[in-house]
Amino acid sequence: MSDARPPLRQRLAQQDEALRQASRWRQLRRWQPVSPTRALRDGAPLTLFCENDYLGLAGHRALREAAARALDADGVGARSAHLIAGHHPEHAALEEEVADWLGRERALLFGSGYLANLGILQGLLQPGDLCVQDRLNHACLLDGARLSGAELRRYPHGEPEGAARQLAARPAAPALLATDGVFSMDGDLAPLPELSALCRREQALLLVDDAHGAGVLGSEGRGSADHLGLRPAAFDLHMITLGKALGCYGALVAGDSTLIDSLLQRARSYLFATALPPAIAAAARAALRLVRGEEGAARRAQLAAMVERFRAGALNLGLPLERSQTAIQPLLLGGDARAVAAAEALATRGFGVVAIRPPTVPEGSARLRITFSAAHQPEQVDSLIEALGAVLGDLPE
């Protein structure tokens, strides 16, 4: 045995202890849903303000019935990857319907949003290319750029001028700019009209990760770009997830046929992964019908009303609100221990709110990430505001 080789377990133990000391140690809890807004956490009942089921569709009867029919007809697994024997008619129909919804020529179904972004960036970029990203982009966009071997350059959050500087730094390199549409930890929107104009000038592809905008914003829930007045032709690739507002699982990327065909040839997280169960695709199709119809519009209106009610009450109490107008409402508390203490105090009062700490967010910006659903009722929102006022008022600085 070599004396020179440092033990990996020893290093991990030291790093784990440092996480515990910094109030950054994470642990799994058991969450058992009992209604769209209620769950048992390790057996204790909580009203949830931490999920991403923005329209309250995850338990909707139409989704459950669609999944049950497909499960009975087709079984559980897809049996193989899409390009072998796993591309089921339910998958094809979902891709066609999503492309129609988003006004695109084609869409490609991935196992998750994380896998989609890894596949898009690894599949389209290569060493020597340039990938420009917002500093607060989701981790999967950053990981996808690193996996591709392209040079990753990041710009200050929400600043098109910063993005322009990064593109100008390498004017001869093929380039792709990637941004969240709605930022997952801040709830604000990317300046998509300005970024679209920049990418057209610089001949750079524009990828919008709309995980938290699709289903919630825009006409028929088409997402953040539609909400900001952009037509589909104004950006190249539109990634949406099925596991948030649509209440299912998986993700799709939509764009023109040329780009989607290129991904079909090159995206390793698509090529080498077993396809989603057909029953999940069937449920997603049912969700999409709801999102595009009158019920979807009513649920978006209810969600907006709950967000407005929360913001009015929180402002009245002087709570540390950010500028978000979406279903994601962060309350910045600064210190990690302070955020954890606030979340645990809320749990004792019957509310499920999660403390978000670095590295998920920048140093010094630990927060409570409060999220809303169309299933929430006014009295639940009012009770949360009252609890927040009491808990934050008692927290040490």
- My answer on whether 35 and 160 are in the same domain is no
- My answer on whether 286 and 299 are in the same domain is no
Kindly report the pTM of this predicted structure.
Answer: 0.94
Residue numbers of the domain that contains 358: 24-53+295-394
Asked whether residue 113 is marked as a ligand-binding residue, the answer is: yes
Asked whether residue 326 is marked as a ligand-binding residue, the answer is: no
Is 284 part of any domain?
yes
What CATH number corresponds to the domain at position 42?
A: 3.90.1150.10
Catalytic residue among 112, 244, 269, 376: 244
Look up residue 13 and give its amino acid: A
- My answer on whether 308 and 360 are in the same domain is yes
- My answer on whether 277 and 303 are in the same domain is no
Q: How many domains does the chain have?
A: 2
Is 1 part of any domain?
no
Asked whether residue 26 is marked as a ligand-binding residue, the answer is: yes
Q: Is 212 a catalytic residue?
A: yes
- My answer on whether 70 and 38 are in the same domain is no
Asked whether residue 376 is marked as a ligand-binding residue, the answer is: no
Is 7 part of any domain?
no
Is 5 part of any domain?
no
Asked whether residue 360 is marked as a ligand-binding residue, the answer is: yes
CB 236 within 8 A of CB 255: yes
Mean pLDDT by 10 residues, the chain (397 residues): 82 94 90 93 95 97 98 95 96 98 98 98 98 97 97 98 98 98 97 98 98 98 98 97 98 98 97 97 98 98 98 94 95 93 96 94 94 98 96 81
Look up residue 102 and give its amino acid: L
The pLDDT of residue 2 is 60
- My answer on whether 228 and 376 are in the same domain is no
The pLDDT of residue 1 is 55
Catalytic residue among 184, 196, 365, 373: 184
Asked whether residue 352 is marked as a ligand-binding residue, the answer is: no
- My answer on whether 287 and 309 are in the same domain is no
Last residue in a domain, options 292, 322, 341: 292
The pLDDT of residue 284 is 98
Q: How far apart are CA 245 and CA 250, in angstroms?
A: 12
- My answer on whether 260 and 369 are in the same domain is no
- My answer on whether 210 and 70 are in the same domain is yes
Is 8 part of any domain?
no
Q: Is 244 a catalytic residue?
A: yes
Catalytic residue among 60, 88, 91, 212: 212
Identify the CA nearest to 109 among candidates 303, 234, 236, 274.
274
Distance of CA 348 to the CA centre of its chain: 28
- My answer on whether 328 and 344 are in the same domain is yes
- My answer on whether 186 and 299 are in the same domain is no
What CATH number corresponds to the domain at position 207?
A: 3.40.640.10
- My answer on whether 33 and 111 are in the same domain is no
Is 122 part of any domain?
yes
Last residue in a domain, options 275, 292, 309: 292
Is 251 part of any domain?
yes
Asked whether residue 184 is marked as a ligand-binding residue, the answer is: yes
Is 183 part of any domain?
yes
Pairing of strands 205-209, 328-334: unpaired
Last residue in a domain, options 292, 308, 329: 292
Helices 378-394 + 294-317 axis angle, to 10? 30
